[in-house]
């Protein structure tokens, strides 16, 4: 690919990242298309390239406060996971990645073959603001997930996804970074907080 084309892709990625950061649009595809249309450029970057630029934008806008935010969110995630340890919680999303920014939720997957039992435990421990099912299609197969949205006393939000126990070893591929979503177990998160609370989990190369 020519240098000129790479430069144009980077320009679009930066503009798309700004659209996402300021919540002018919500989805990567829409952000890339809107950025390219606004700039009059006919090449699109990958989601991975936009994600890297979004991380740069957040870093520039939020500075050291972003580091404090990430540590706080990871510590809160650890507390939530400890309370839900019977459901084998795993931290995913931007708090796992280390790319959390202002307004980021804490995303945690838990495992139970009975969502109602899990929901009753969650309601007993946390302030549940909303629940509902979402659907994901991958490889021609559609999966259904039950989501529970929790509001913490700090004002931060947690999105809990309840999956079946037999899915504990299943790992989906990330639509943004292109790698397998590994996440962190409770003990792994504890180790990260003790060793390097700002550690990032971003692949170096995606194709």
Measure the CA–CA gap between 187 and 26, rounded to whole angstroms: 32
Q: What is the CATH number of domain 64-195?
A: 3.30.460.10
Percentage, residues of the chain above pLDDT 70:
96
What confidence tens digit (pLDDT) does each residue in 9-47 have?
999 999 999 999 999 999 999 999 999 999 999 999 999
What confidence tens digit (pLDDT) does each residue in 50-87 have?
999 999 999 999 999 999 999 999 999 999 999 999 99
Give the Cβ contact number of residue 168 at 10 Å.
12
End-to-end CA separation in angstroms for the chain: 14
Closest to 45 (Cα-Cα) out of 19, 17, 21: 17
The whole model's pTM is what? 0.92
Structure-derived torsion over alpha carbons of residues 109, 190, 184, 48, reported in degrees to the nearest 10: 110
- Main-chain dihedrals φ then ψ at residue 43, nearest 5 degrees: -125, 145
Give the Cβ contact number of residue 117 at 10 Å.
13
Measure the CA–CA gap between 48 and 18, rounded to whole angstroms: 15
- Main-chain dihedrals φ then ψ at residue 170, nearest 5 degrees: -80, 135
Is 62:84 a contact under the CB 8 Å cutoff? no
């Amino acid at each position: 690919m020519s240098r000129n084309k790479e430069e144009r892709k980077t320009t679009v990625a930066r503009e798309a990242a700004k659209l996402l950061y300021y919540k002018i649009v919500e989805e990567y595809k829409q952000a890339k298309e809107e950025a390219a249309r606004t700039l009059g450029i006919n090449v699109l970057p990958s989601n991975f390239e936009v994600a890297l630029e979004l991380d740069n934008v957040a870093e520039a806008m939020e500075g050291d406060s972003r580091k404090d935010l990430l540590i706080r969110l990871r510590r809160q995630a650890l507390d939530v996971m400890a309370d839900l340890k019977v459901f084998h919680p795993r931290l995913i999303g931007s708090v796992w990645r280390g790319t959390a920014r202002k307004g980021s939720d804490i995303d945690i997957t838990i495992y139970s073959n009975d969502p109602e039992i899990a929901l009753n435990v969650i309601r007993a421990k946390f302030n549940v603001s909303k629940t509902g099912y979402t659907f994901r299609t991958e490889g021609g197969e559609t999966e259904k997930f039950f989501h529970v949205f929790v509001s913490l006393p700090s004002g931060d939000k947690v999105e809990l996804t309840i999956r079946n126990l037999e899915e504990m070893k299943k790992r989906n591929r990330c639509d943004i970074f292109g790698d397998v979503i590994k996440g962190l177990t409770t003990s792994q998160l504890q180790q990260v907080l003790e060793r390097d609370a700002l550690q990032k989990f971003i692949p170096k190369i995606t194709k």
